[in-house]
A and B are shown apart, each in its own frame.
Chain A
């Protein structure tokens, strides 16, 4: 009999209000989040979330910030999620920003979106302090988390999130129903997500409330998680993979999430909080796998463990699953309850999936893209195909454009989670979405007879780092081209055994360099690149340089022929 996949039967959602209110009704005082603030562990229930959501939404009306654009940048915090949802429910547009951006980049995004308020934590406020005077459209700067403002930041626009929540609660008690009664059109613009670091090279992905809620339900239906599941959220919250799956879909199924307070504490928090499920990018699994094997090798037990894995796999074929007992020690290093890891963002070595599977943790690999909010496909937990990015998600159609003889071509998708277009960039939107609504993913691949997606290449220049983040070569080239000694630069990702190496191909400006030998030239360029790297998050660091002695080959419109560079 032909195998089929039946998505779980879960009610659809109309709006973020529907999500928050339904969740509070179903899960009430259960913990939605556990988080650390001022070194203290705090809990935040589904009911509290609804109250904060309503109160902050009401305060937005009071401040005249309903139906306005508002930027949001902080580390993960329950109030990050509440403000994200309240701004949308108040008819506005939320602009989540990457906290690893440089101050001038953050200010650039706040300005080009004409945000009328920004929601920041104290850390981001300090980071932005030198640019505050340049935020001309911003009327309010709202601080979430601990309010620890240095004396030299004296800006009258500053207001504490918690005081706005108190204000909103008081207004609701007095009968203010402006937010509670407000209904927005769920197909209007609700969220803008920028794809890279600078305003010059980044594209703003426009999502509607409908896109977001469609995606929440889609994730909940495709992945086998339930209200007994507990999570540790470690991915950046502005990342659509983390936002939709680890925060919004997780809440829709009634889970509880521990918010990781620092990259440094990731493994400690996982061990101590004993999650049942993790939502990760390959970098984490690669590191976890490496740590497991290092530990095994230190005890001279590699042969023994490999034998046990073979034996256990054989027993499973006979219907006997002893993994929890045989690999208890390994599983305990992740808390002991972990049974599933959902991974996406970049390709993962199938060997690692097999390792985790043998130890007793199911790795569910998926494929997504910000423009799809992000889910395109996922391997169902009971029907996984190694090497595939999974079956096309429910509610989404996929097809291959102009397939070659092997059936490979660009992957096109259409459905409720496909974005509205790029912010103020009609040309890019036209290129990305066909007239009949198909989104060109830029990824090359094929579909098998069961509608599983296989990715074999990439049409766009984007480099996918193993932490799942996209590195746009154009952004790095922008920095390189500002260096006097560089005449032309192209950035590419080269595959190596350790993953993708971000490589700068440099054509130096010989007039500026003067009479120096090759070693001196290399040292000079190397030190310029080190300076650039210091201002960038680690995943964007240029780690290899190749110097060439002639300029790059160009098209008739003077564009570098990138496809010639490998």
Chain B
């Protein structure tokens, strides 16, 4: 899941690949704002056919937070 999310950040938001690490902070290290994150989340919802609660966005601080959340929710759907 980490690798998939990493690719998403590179392709959708044009984030410099070298900057992306599990512990990288979305806002501070990668410069992603709340609106871009919401847009990315919507893309993930469509791609994985899942629903991510708006309130969950608040807890996404690092790359790993999103990866862990997605890893937790996607197997449940399968």
Contact = CB atoms under 8 A, between A and B. Distances in A.
Contact of B54 (A262, A290, A466, A544): A262
B38 interface: yes
B27 A466 contact: no
B39 A544 contact: no
Say which size band chain B's interface belongs to. 20 to 34
A284 B35 contact: yes
Given A538-B57, A541-B61, A263 B34 contact: yes
Nearest to A499: B33
B68 interface: no
A266 B31 CA distance: 20
A265 interface: yes
Interface in A440-476: 466-467
Given A262-B54, A264-B54, A501-B28, A530 B38 contact: no
A427 interface: no
Nearest to A75: B54
A266 B34 CA distance: 12
B72 interface: no
Nearest to A501: B28
A539 B61 contact: no
B42 A533 contact: no
Contacts of B58: 100, 534, 536-538
Contacts of A544: 28
A263 B45 CA distance: 14
B25 interface: yes
A294 interface: yes
Interface residues of A, number: 29
A539 B38 CA distance: 13
A543 interface: yes
A263, A268, A534, A539: which has the most chain B beta carbons within 10 Å? A263
Q: Which interface residue of A100, A264, A284, A501 has the most chain B CB atoms within 10 A? A: A264
A534 B59 contact: yes
A400 interface: no
A543 B62 CA distance: 11
A286 B14 contact: no
B34 A530 contact: no
Contacts of B61: 530, 533-534, 541
A294 B14 contact: yes
A440 to B, nearest CB: 31
Contacts of A267: 39
Interface string B52-70: 1011011101000000000
Nearest to A290: B36
A41 interface: no
B54 A263 contact: yes
Question: What 10 pairs across the A-B complex have the smallest Cβ distances?
Answer: A543-B28, A263-B38, A264-B42, A287-B35, A264-B38, A538-B34, A498-B31, A262-B54, A264-B41, A543-B27
Interface of A: 100, 123, 262-268, 283-284, 286-287, 290, 294, 466-467, 498, 501, 530, 533-534, 536-539, 541, 543-544
